[in-house]
Amino acid sequence: MSSVPFIDLKAQYARIKPQIAEAIQEVLDDGRYILGPAVTRFEEELAAYCGVRHAISCSSGTDAIFIPLLAYGVGPGDAVFVPSFTFTASAEVILLAGASPVFVDVEAHSFTIDLTDLERKISETRAEGRLKPKAIIAVDLFGLPADWNGLNKLAEREALHLISDAAQSFGGVYHNRRVGSLAPVSGTSFFPAKPLGGYGDGGAIMTDDDNLAELLKSIRVHGQGADRYEVARIGINGRLDSIQAAILSVKLSIFDEELDARERISRVYDAALGDVVTVPKRVDGLQSAWAQYTIKTDGRAALQEKLAAAGIPTMIYYPKPMHLQAPYAPYGGGEGSLPVSETICDEVMSLPMHPYLSDDDAKRIAAEVREALG
């Protein structure tokens, strides 16, 4: 078969080219290039979309979880619980804040944080007494919301801050509530390859808490106080460019259609592959944003090679859990300590997934997978 792209941002651009040109031109004519009116408008659209009081745009998905840590005063001596099977950014921000990550295992089927292991790690950390449990960062990996009811209850009982790393799940739904409204504070990413992606870096933080929102906004702009040159606290340069906001507003207007298309492709894959590989878990009442369609299989290397030869790109998200990566090793329990995360790193493989993939191409990809598996 002719080769297919892993994601196809060009097909999307072709669809919205005139609207994008107009949106960018408007910002250029306006002249307010950072946190301008296009940013305010996009933040209002985001808040309405997620059903939250505040959406605070920022410079990346990384800053969207770093800024809340700073706002909660997380720092040296604090433990922050985070799944090991994730992208480095989920854990990196903990060390950047001066705190220590405590790595938690994930569920083999949903790829999201294992609440039983989380409870165990919190108890162990309290018993050990070296670090003070302060926060949880839970990740909606590959787009599927984690167990947010369970997480909110646990965080409340343990008096821990709960941060949703929703970098991959913007657009997802959890029992009739949108991602962005599932935790006291949620951060998402607008990296180009994300379900809602810009043409550069960007992110946003969602919350219903008015006081926290003020703090987040201040930290986003160097800890700005009542006026621009009053420094109320230490912050960062975490602002979003107006051009990115204008682009994202256009993309948000077609986002629901794109989510439907991703869901449709996931169903094609499920139907064609469910009996030969482990397909992604579906949970009643939960809707994935399908940032990735990730299967599990033995013999991954041979499969990946055969698919590559057939012009089908695949990705391994992720080949190594965080607790075994060099900078995090001192904080983890080493090999064998988080068995599920370690095992699935050897089994997972993501197939092409984007809203402009045709059903026919998805069927042909699935057929190649079946053939390669013999």
Among the listed residues 12, 57, 84, 90, the single contact to ligand PLP using CB under 6 A: 90
Nearer to ligand PLP, 60 or 110 (CB): 60
Site string for ligand PLP, 126-155 (x = CB under 6 A): -------------x----------------
The conformation of residue 56, written as its DSSP 8-state character, comes to E
Enumerate residues 6+ apart whose C-beta is below 8 A from 263. 287, 288, 290
d(CA 65, CA 97): 11
Which one of 39-47, 86-94, 96-104, 219-227 is the stretch in contact with ligand PLP (CB under 6 A)? 86-94
Q: Is 189 in the site for ligand PLP (CB under 6 A)?
A: yes
CB neighbour list of residue 305: distance below 8 Å, 6 or more residues apart = none
Compute the half-sphere exposure of residue 8: CA atoms within 13 Å on the CB side of its CA. 18
Angle at 6 between CA 325 and CA 318, to 5 degrees: 15
Q: Does 89 bind ligand PLP (CB under 6 A)?
A: yes
Separation CA 242–CA 248 (nearest Å): 10
The burial class, CB within 10 Å (0-12 / 13-18 / 19+), for 131 is middle
Asked if 56 interacts with ligand PLP (CB under 6 A), we say no
Stretch that binds ligand PLP, among 7-15, 74-82, 83-91, 116-124 (CB under 6 A): 83-91
Does 172 contact ligand PLP by CB under 6 A? no
Q: Which is nearer to ligand PLP, 188 or 242 (CB)?
A: 188
Kindly report whether the peptide bond that precedes residue 199 is cis, defined as omega within 30 degrees of 0. no
Minimum distance from residue 241 beta carbon to ligand PLP (Å): 14
Site string for ligand PLP, 201-240 (x = CB under 6 A): x-x-------------------------------------
Between residues 139 and 362, which has the closer beta carbon with respect to ligand PLP? 139
Computed over its alpha carbons, how large is the radius of gyration of the chain?
A: 21
Residue from 43, 114, 165, 342 binding ligand PLP (CB under 6 A): 165
Q: Are strands 100-104 and 78-83 parallel, antiparallel or unpaired?
A: parallel
Distances (CA, A) of 184 to 162, 210, 315: 6, 11, 32
* Under rule CB under 6 A, residue 174 binds ligand PLP: no
Dihedral-angle region of residue 143 (phi above 0 means left; psi in -120 to 50 means alpha; beta otherwise): left
Q: How far is the CB of 203 from ligand PLP (least distance, A)?
A: 5
Stretch that binds ligand PLP, among 2-10, 33-41, 163-171, 323-331 (CB under 6 A): 163-171
87 binds ligand PLP (CB under 6 A): yes
Q: How many residues does the chain have?
A: 374
Based on CB atoms, which residue is closest to ligand PLP, 90 or 304? 90
Residues that bind ligand PLP (CB under 6 A): 60-62, 86-87, 89-90, 139, 165, 167-168, 189, 191, 201, 203
